[in-house]
Chains A and B, each alone.
Chain A
Amino acid sequence: MATRAAEELYYDSEATLRLVDTVLDELQVMEAEVAKSEDRVRSLTAHVDQAHAGIAGLPDILMRAHGEIQNVLASLRESRDVLERTTVEKIHHMNDKLREVTSATEIAATDILDGLDRSLALVDQLDTEEGEIDRSSVHAELRNELFAVMGCLQFQDITAQQLSYASSVLGDMESRLTQLAAIFDPASFGLVTETKQEMEAAGPRAFDPAATTQDAEQRQALVDEIFQTGEKNG
């Protein structure tokens, strides 16, 4: 009887100890989880501290960004000024030259038509058998008229130079604008190369930027004066 009671007590004790062991294991697990939670809390606290520090540093960052933007804007203003200085005057000159091309071609066309009208009238005179006309003098006059018509075609050489000048100004502007665009978009570097290649493919061009059909007599007078005096530089 006593043995049986002792065995029961033994088994009860063993079960109790097992329960205690289990509870201890569970407590260990909980302790580990608590430790993990503590780490998370510490980490969150650190993040919150960093966020506080970041917000505190935001004005400095914004000030630096503002400075950078001001520098970029200053560079852009400088580029614009350079573009204005170098191209505006040329563009005005180019516009003048293009207007002169229009005027020169119109004047030449009118002169040519007038010359041809006079020539046709002379041909009509030669066809007429009535009255007495000096055929040799009419022939000479006709030759002079036709020759003068040929002289009118000099406008082609001069306007070609004016157009070459306009083309060179446009090419120069295109190149400068493309270089400026390349600051913002490096992909447009390809466009610069293409423009240069196109211009080079057109072949060498020689022109007088001041070429004009106007005031030929006054300009010739200056030439004659210099050649008569034999003026030399320096």
Chain B
Amino acid sequence: MKFLVVDDSATMRRIVINSLQRIGFNDVVEAEDGQQALERFDDSVGFVITDWNMPNMNGLDFARALRSKGAATPILMVTTRSVREDIVAAVEAGVNNYIVKPFTPQVLKEKIDSILPAGATN
């Protein structure tokens, strides 16, 4: 399965990608913001992991844009934002699950497991 990892922090992208590789997902494409992610998104992408606060287009608008295109690809938001209104806005935008930074690899695996069919992760 191909993952699209979207974050304006190169450090965070590396951490997320390393975490994915550790649970067996090596096919990853990266983007620095929502706008670039929209350009790089295609039918081959099976899972999206996105940050919220990014220049040009934030993660919430990116999620909305994907859903408005009719894409049903699972979206996992990984962000520092943890105010109730923000979390609810993510639910309304069609985000499938949500991780608060800083996170442990275990939490990332649990959230991916909660979205993907059983046994998708090692």
Scan B1-29; emit 1 where CB is below 8 A from any A CB, else 0: 00000011101101100110010000000
Of B38-46, B66-74, B95-103, which binds chain A? B95-103
Chain B residue nearest to A219 (CB atoms) is B82
Q: A156-B11, A222-B82, A230-B91 are in contact. Are A151 and B102 (CB under 8 A)?
A: yes
Task: Tell yes or no: A161 within 8 A of B by CB.
Answer: yes
CB–CB A158/B53 < 8 A: no
CB-defined contacts of B122 to chain A, threshold 8 Å: none
CB-defined contacts of A219 to chain B, threshold 8 Å: 82, 100
Shortest Cβ distance from residue B113 to the other chain A in the assembled complex, whole angstroms: 14
CB–CB B88/A154 < 8 A: no
Q: A150-B18, A154-B102, A157-B101 are in contact. Are A206 and B8 (CB under 8 A)?
A: yes
CB–CB B81/A151 < 8 A: no
Of A2-10, A38-46, A81-89, A207-215, which binds chain B? A207-215
Shortest Cβ distance from residue B31 to the other chain A in the assembled complex, whole angstroms: 14
CB–CB B9/A147 < 8 A: no
Q: A161-B53, A223-B98 are in contact. Are A231 and B88 (CB under 8 A)?
A: yes
Task: Tell yes or no: A133 within 8 A of B by CB.
Answer: no
CB–CB A226/B53 < 8 A: no
CB–CB B80/A233 < 8 A: no
Partner pick for A212 among B53, B80, B97, CB 8 A cutoff:
B80
Task: Tell yes or no: B87 within 8 A of A by CB.
Answer: yes
CB-defined contacts of B98 to chain A, threshold 8 Å: 223, 227
CB–CB A157/B81 < 8 A: no
CB-defined contacts of B84 to chain A, threshold 8 Å: 222, 226
Contact residues on B (Cβ < 8 Å of other chain), bracket: 35 or more
Interface residues of A in 124-183 (CB under 8 A from B): 147, 150-151, 153-158, 160-161
CB–CB B102/A216 < 8 A: yes
CB–CB A153/B87 < 8 A: no
CB–CB A153/B15 < 8 A: yes
Q: Interface centre among A153, A208, A233, by most B CB within 10 Å? A: A208
Partner pick for A206 among B19, B55, B91, B99, CB 8 A cutoff:
B55
Shortest Cβ distance from residue B7 to the other chain A in the assembled complex, whole angstroms: 8
Which positions in A face B, CB cutoff 8 Å?
147, 150-151, 153-158, 160-161, 203-208, 210-213, 216, 219-220, 222-223, 226-227, 230-233
Q: Report the 10 A-B pairs with minimum CB-CB distance, sorted nearest first.
A: A204-B55, A219-B82, A211-B80, A154-B102, A157-B9, A206-B53, A219-B100, A208-B80, A157-B12, A220-B100
Apart from the given pairs A150-B18, A157-B12, 16 other A-B contacts in the complex at a CB distance below 8 Å: A147-B22, A154-B12, A154-B102, A156-B11, A204-B55, A208-B80, A210-B80, A213-B102, A216-B101, A216-B102, A220-B82, A222-B82, A222-B87, A231-B91, A232-B88, A232-B92
Chosen A-B contacts, 17 in total, with CB atoms closer than 8 Å, are A147-B22, A147-B105, A151-B102, A153-B15, A154-B103, A157-B9, A158-B80, A203-B55, A211-B53, A220-B100, A222-B84, A223-B82, A223-B99, A227-B87, A231-B88, A232-B91, A233-B88
